[in-house]
Structure 1
Amino acid sequence: MKREVIGYSSVRGALHEKERLPNQDSYLVKQFKFGTLLVVSDGMGSHPHSDLGSHSVCRSVSRAIQLWHEYHCDDIRLLIPLIHSLWGMDVFPYPKNECGATCLFAFLRDDNLLYLGQLGDGSIYYSVDDELALLKSKEDDFTNLTTGINSIRSFEDWSLTTVCAGDKVVKVCLMTDGVAETLVESRRNEFVNLLWKRLNEKKNICERNNMIYRLLEDWNPVNAGDDRTLVSYEKR
């Protein structure tokens, strides 16, 4: 029997608390009969309806995965047009350029194929059999401007990969920029590995979620202005 260890939480940044603005981050964890989906989205602060946009990202990825599965697709690239189309319909009648948001997702299918996708800022760390990797680094971008789901120039703006995990242990950690950009670069891998270790020691999802919540609440106050969201997953 495979064991899944899941934990997630999101906290509003100090700036949004002060100005009584909503948390512009969103996340979704959904367990289908055919696999487990994780989604994290960071609404762009300059957009008046970015919180709506990030919520719509989560719903759209979930719906896209279901349609993609119904048609027995294997190619992750076929997911992308579905996500964009569904998101555009979901935010209607609001203009897309008022609902900008990033998109990070991980989907582990029941045959242990791991699908990863990222558009915009944030980080996806993943490990298959203790080999830690980062899907996309900041250096992969040619510009400092964040690309959101509302403003892609081409599908090449997405970072995509598919990993065949077989019977190996799979770990994934998705985090918005409010977490990823404030980690000390030389210790990011250490942070992620320690997080997975500590979450694995917890008895249930409530304890794991509380641990992540406390971690995000006590984040470095120098960088506490941003909303902070983190979703962690392990299957062994």
Structure 2
Amino acid sequence: MGNPVRSCGDRTLTDDKDGADAVPASAYAVASLRNLDGSGSPAGKWAYVRSGTGPSARTADAAGYDRADDRFEVPGFDASPEAGVIGEAFGDHLAVEVAAHADDVYGRPRRTDLACVADWGSTGYSTAPHCLRRIDGSTVYADRAGEVHADGEIWSRALFDIRGALGARTADRIIVNAWFGFRADTDFADAARTTTISTAQRMYGKTAADAVRAGFATRQIPGIG
């Protein structure tokens, strides 16, 4: 199933506590699941979307990817407050990207705002227009509030701007590859400067590195200029 709020453009939809009739038939799409484990459940060697605050999700965009996903890439990740923030931001970014890619692959219409995270997943506890969070906010590093979701909007906005500058495929290749070089206790400055910017330089050269640097500089990440 895709994101019915996004594909229908109907922000009054709710999940009706997972009710069978909550989603219009027009919002469904067929997707082949490969490499299942034969258990009869949708499990196996395929991307399993999880929500950190609710039941497992099998739509193309969940309420956000769980920070446990980060620990698959960096054992022990979240060992510092800012690492936790970066993890939350990455989850929101990835949820938006997976949804956008699924829309493109399956030809689904996109009638709502791309930068709105989990408009479908948040219908049960928010008012229309539904957004769990946004990744196009205006907060900068000095606006940190000490809360991982709020502060995550600083990092996710940088990633969103990098996407806008380089395109989704190039930006996501840089962003995901950079993750494997993060320290478990990384902070904003180190994750931006010594990992993500250097990954862009290594993979695509100076022009890409400059675009990544600009994304972080606009969020006023320390040491990025």
**TM-score range, shorter-chain basis?**
under 0.3
TM-score of the superposition, structure 1-length normalised? 0.26
Q: Which has the higher contact order (CA 8 A, sep 6+)?
A: 1
Higher helix share: 2
TM-score of the superposition, structure 2-length normalised? 0.27
Higher strand share: 1
Larger radius of gyration: 2
